[in-house]
Structure 1
Amino acid sequence: MQQDLISLNDQVILVNKKDQILGIANKLQAHLGSAQLHRAVSVQIFNSKQELLIQQRSKDKMLFPLLWANTVCTDVRPYENYLQAANRRLKEEFGLQADLTPQFKFYYTAPSGSRAAEKEIDQVFSGRTDHRPQPNPKEIQAWQYLSLKQLKTAPLNYAPWFKLILKKMLSSAIFKA
């Protein structure tokens, strides 16, 4: 049983553009070449000052190392729903818990060099907490909180999915809540 669970941790849920499940695939294989469409989550955590917690991805990441991204993101495992994946990753990467609210879902694809890519249906969540982040150094190179104004003007190199999320968030009520 334990070995089966470990094996499922290395799998992703394959879907079509309507987010209907087609099967599962090995996580690495699903990201090679032009990639296979699979489920993912992106979490945005705000503090009470309306600042967004962002992270610089580890230099050891296969896809988009050292780029700045939203608080956390991950692929959804076969035994998880979107919310479970979001909560798992928030705890794994920052040691945080928060009440997460689904905001929107979108499709995107982004090549990372010539051998791998992201191709995802990405469910975006937001939440709030003032608890101090405990970043996992295996996952996170650096982190910081940025205000809405700073997010618009910061000279940071953002990951492709985060650029799309930011564009939608900046024109929505997520920052106004």
Structure 2
Amino acid sequence: MEQKNMLVLVNEQDEPRGTMEKMEAHRKAELHRAFSVFIYNAAGDMLLQQRALNKYHSGGLWTNACCSHPYPEEAPAAAGKRRLREEMGFVTDIQPAFEFVYKASFDNGLTEYEYDHVFVGEYDGPIHPDPAEVNDYCFLSPAEIEAALASHPARFTAWFHLAFPKVQQWRKQSEVCIG
């Protein structure tokens, strides 16, 4: 089986416990390693993407710049940069922010049960999304995102609802520490 179709199964401490084919892991709700990348521009606005309509779950919903699963033997940060290039058509430096575990079930019988490595970066250049992955994209201020999450929660992915406030808190704490 191709490496890109295999997920790294982990325990609650992110220790590997084997691999499993991607769709099987989602059908069986197996905890697996994942990553999410959040990108801001210099003005502090966040890059959002609307997932392609044909995605295996959450098609057409808005979410962070990119997210996926590292290949077996691939570090989450390297996977984040790879997927940012594949989905959004650009590369930028990303830094680890935090990790969290979440579980979300979908109407199609699949479940995301992920140990999510969250990365944050900054980018102001051109964006060339892959139309097979991304239906649309935009930059919104954190306040605009908070308002949209409150007024239209069904327009956003399950993990974005969980990760966005954590990213905002991480950014506030980072600013206090830096200066």
Tell me, yes or no, whether TM beats 0.5.
Answer: yes
Please tell me the residue identity of whatever aligns with 2:78: Q
Tell me the alpha carbon deviations over residues 10-34 of structure 1, each in whole angstroms, 9 at most, x when there is no partner. 101000111110001101111114x
Measured in 2, the distance between the counterparts of 1:12 and 1:170 equals 28
Give yes or no for the alignment of 1:21 onto 2:16: yes
1:101 to partner: Cα distance: 0.4
**Which deviates the most, 59-68 or 165-174?**
165-174
Q: Tell me, what secondary structure is at the counterpart of 1:90?
A: helix
Given the alignment, which residue of 38, 48, 59 partners 1:44?
Answer: 38
Give yes or no for the alignment of 1:96 onto 2:94: no
Check conservation: 1:57, 1:139, Cα contact below 8 A: yes
Given the alignment, which residue of 4, 9, 14 partners 1:9?
Answer: 4
Give yes or no for the alignment of 1:53 onto 2:51: no
Measured in 2, the distance between the counterparts of 1:174 and 1:111 equals 30
Report the counterpart of residue 143 of structure 1 in structure 2: 137
Moved over 3 A (4+): 174-177
Q: Tell me, what secondary structure is at the counterpart of 2:170?
A: coil
- Identify, as 1 or 2, the structure richer in helix: 2
Give yes or no for the alignment of 1:74 onto 2:68: yes
Report the counterpart of residue 64 of structure 1 in structure 2: 58
1:172 to partner: Cα distance: 3.1
The two structures have a TM-score, normalised by structure 1, of: 0.91
Measured in 2, the distance between the counterparts of 1:176 and 1:48 equals 16
Query: Using a 3 Å threshold, how does the CA distance of structure 1 residues 54 and 131 change in structure 2: closer, same or farther?
Result: same
Measured in 1, the distance between the counterparts of 2:62 and 2:118 equals 17
| Identity score, percent | 34
**Which deviates the most, 156-165 or 10-19?**
156-165
Number of matched pairs: 171
Please tell me the residue identity of whatever aligns with 1:27: K
Residue segments in structure 2 that go unaligned for 5+ positions in a row: none
Please tell me the residue identity of whatever aligns with 2:105: P
Measured in 2, the distance between the counterparts of 1:17 and 1:105 equals 11
